[in-house]
């Protein structure tokens, strides 16, 4: 016997991609532009911090994050957003934010909402953990298309009242994966007001917040504080993977109101896998430093400028505001990815692997996602090969 709630899941995006591409020979030197795994150098001093605390592997780590780490995170939130948080009661370190995005739903989603099965809202396309978290808590995942018509951000305000009355949680990613759209202050204000009216919580996935083109994206905690909203209304998630090029560190955090965090920490006490102590010390040092973040952001900005030049004049090209993906319009995402692989050796991800079929169709079907994570010269070469194969 196996749980039926997971029985209809398609293969995960990357096994699905391998099944599509790997039965064919690459048409050129292989160039990986699929996974959002940063390839820029992380700070060289990270290894020194790790060695200084290497003996910590001999002890069980602090379950919610060391005092030092949570203090560093709290200080960063204040510097970045002007929001004061209590490090002891409002912050918990994560073993990667995917863990947090999943377990927060387990900890905070009620079994019913107004006597009915709860709904969890999410953008479409979406980070796949949003859907799995919803199914795991027996909620109804509701996929709201994020398309050019709504600026690539889901408009939850247009949902019917019967859906909103059942809504328990709403995921939102800004800058968005995969489109790079950034939620404005007006967008956050409208969404938080909606959550206040219908009594649901917002899960703000802000893992790409430090990679942007011009102005730093406004944050959900920041706007909630400006509005005087209930502190339990917003739960934010951040990571060092993209900000600091440390995906292998598996270090992120979740922050919210005291009551939300009490429930999240209670679940962690029973089920969680805290970050090892020496890695927590590394994370504390990395959250405290901004110089490497500024340099990292500059590299991505240069690559986006390259992309703008390479795709100049191409109909449907969308220049993103943040993150590190291109969301490129094609006739058919799977066919385009296969053609690109067979003719050039460049690997990209079909948009349909990141989105869900709805009554209105699949909003990712006519797109490919391209990760700009490689060094600048390699990225430019990959984009030129892509352009000449698919758009000329």
**Interval 229-271: pLDDT, tens:** 999 999 999 999 999 999 999 999 999 999 999 999 999 999 8
Q: Please, what is the average pLDDT of the chain?
A: 96
Q: What would the pLDDT profile of 50-98 be if each residue is shown by its tens digit?
A: 999 999 999 999 999 999 999 999 999 999 999 999 999 999 999 999 9
Question: How many Cβ atoms sit within 10 Å of the Cβ of residue 58?
Answer: 8
Assigned CATH for 4-41+292-390: 3.90.1150.10
pLDDT band at 159 (very low <50, low <70, confident <90, very high): very high
At residue 359, the pLDDT reads 86
At residue 316, the pLDDT reads 82
At residue 113, the pLDDT reads 98
At residue 350, the pLDDT reads 98
What's the whole-number mean pLDDT along residues 288-300?
A: 97
As a whole-number percent, the residues of the chain with pLDDT over 70 amount to 100
Look up tokens 């385009």; give the residue. 336
Task: Please give the DSSP secondary-structure letter assigned to residue 54.
Answer: G
pLDDT at 176 over 90: yes
pLDDT band at 7 (very low <50, low <70, confident <90, very high): confident
Least confident of 9-13, 211-215, 259-263: 9-13
SS3 letters across the chain: CCCHHHCCCCCCHHHHHHHHHCCCCCCCCCEECCCCCCCCCCCCCHHHHHHHCHHHHHCCCCCCCCHHHHHHHHHHHHHHHCCCCCCCCCEEEECCHHHHHHHHHHHHCCCCECCECCEEEEEECCCCHHHHHHHHCCCEEEEEECCHHHCCCCCHHHCCHHHHCCEEEEEEECCCCCCCCCCCHHHHHHHHHHHHHHCCEEEEECCCCCCECCCCCCCHHHHHHHHCCCCCCEEEEEEHHHHCCCHHHCCEEEECCHHHHHHHHHHHHHHCCCCCHHHHHHHHHHHCCCHHHHHHHHHHHHHHHHHHHHCCCCCCCCCCCECCEEEEECCCHHHHHHHHHHHHCEECEEHHHHCCCECCECCCCCEEEEECCCCHHHHHHHHHHHHHHHCC
Count the residues in the chain.
Answer: 392
390/392 Cα distance (integer angstroms): 6
pLDDT band at 11 (very low <50, low <70, confident <90, very high): confident
What's the whole-number mean pLDDT along residues 330-358?
A: 97
At residue 20, the pLDDT reads 96
At residue 2, the pLDDT reads 79
**Nearest CA-CA partner of 89 in 232, 262, 231, 253:** 262
Six token digits for residue 287: 């959250």
pLDDT at 378 over 90: yes
At residue 360, the pLDDT reads 82
- What is the fold, at CATH topology level, of the domain defined by 46-289? 3.40.640
CATH 3.40.640.10 residue ranges for the chain: 46-289
CATH 3.90.1150.10 residue ranges for the chain: 4-41+292-390
At residue 161, the pLDDT reads 98
What is the pTM assigned to this prediction? Answer: 0.96
Three-state SS for 322? strand
At residue 173, the pLDDT reads 98
Residue pair 203/172 in contact (Cβ under 8 Å)? The answer is yes
What's the whole-number mean pLDDT along residues 40-50?
A: 96
């Amino acid at each position: 016997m196996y749980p039926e709630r997971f029985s209809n899941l398609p293969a995960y995006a990357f096994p699905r991609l391998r099944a599509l591409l790997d039965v064919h020979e690459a048409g050129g030197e292989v160039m990986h532009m699929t996974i959002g795994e940063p390839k820029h150098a992380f700070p060289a001093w990270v290894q020194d911090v790790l060695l200084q605390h290497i003996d910590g592997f001999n002890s069980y780590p602090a379950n919610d994050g060391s005092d030092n780490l949570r203090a560093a995170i709290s200080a960063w939130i204040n510097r970045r957003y002007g929001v004061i948080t209590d490090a002891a009661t409002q912050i918990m370190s994560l073993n990667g934010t995917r863990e947090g995005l999943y377990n927060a739903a387990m900890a905070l989603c009620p079994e019913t909402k107004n006597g009915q099965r709860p709904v969890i809202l999410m953008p479409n396309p979406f980070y796949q953990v949003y859907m799995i978290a919803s199914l795991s808590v027996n909620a109804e995942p509701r996929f709201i298309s994020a398309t050019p018509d709504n600026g690539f951000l889901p408009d939850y305000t247009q949902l019917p009242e019967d859906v909103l009355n059942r809504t328990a949680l709403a995921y939102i990613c800004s800058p968005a994966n995969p489109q790079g759209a950034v939620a404005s202050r007006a967008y956050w204000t409208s969404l938080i007001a909606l959550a206040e009216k219908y009594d649901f919580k917002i899960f703000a996935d802000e893992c790409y917040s430090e990679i942007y083109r011009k102005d730093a994206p406004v944050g959900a905690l920041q706007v909630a504080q400006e509005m005087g909203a209930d502190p339990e209304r917003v739960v934010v998630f951040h990571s060092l993977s993209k900000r600091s090029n440390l995906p292998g560190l598996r270090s992120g955090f979740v922050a919210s109101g005291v009551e939300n965090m009490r429930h999240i920490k209670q679940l962690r006490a029973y089920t969680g896998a805290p970050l090892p102590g020496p890695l927590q010390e590394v994370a504390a040092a990395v959250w405290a430093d901004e110089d490497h973040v500024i340099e990292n952001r500059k590299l991505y900005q240069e690559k986006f400028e390259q992309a703008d030049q390479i795709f100049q004049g191409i109909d449907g090209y969308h220049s993103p505001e943040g993150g590190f993906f291109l969301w490129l319009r094609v006739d058919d995402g799977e066919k385009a990815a296969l053609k690109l692989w067979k003719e050039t050796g460049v690997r990209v991800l079909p948009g349909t692997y990141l989105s869900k079929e709805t009554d209105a169709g699949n909003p990712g079907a006519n797109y490919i996602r391209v990760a700009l994570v490689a060094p600048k010269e390699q990225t430019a070469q990959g984009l030129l090969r892509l352009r000449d194969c698919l758009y000329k």
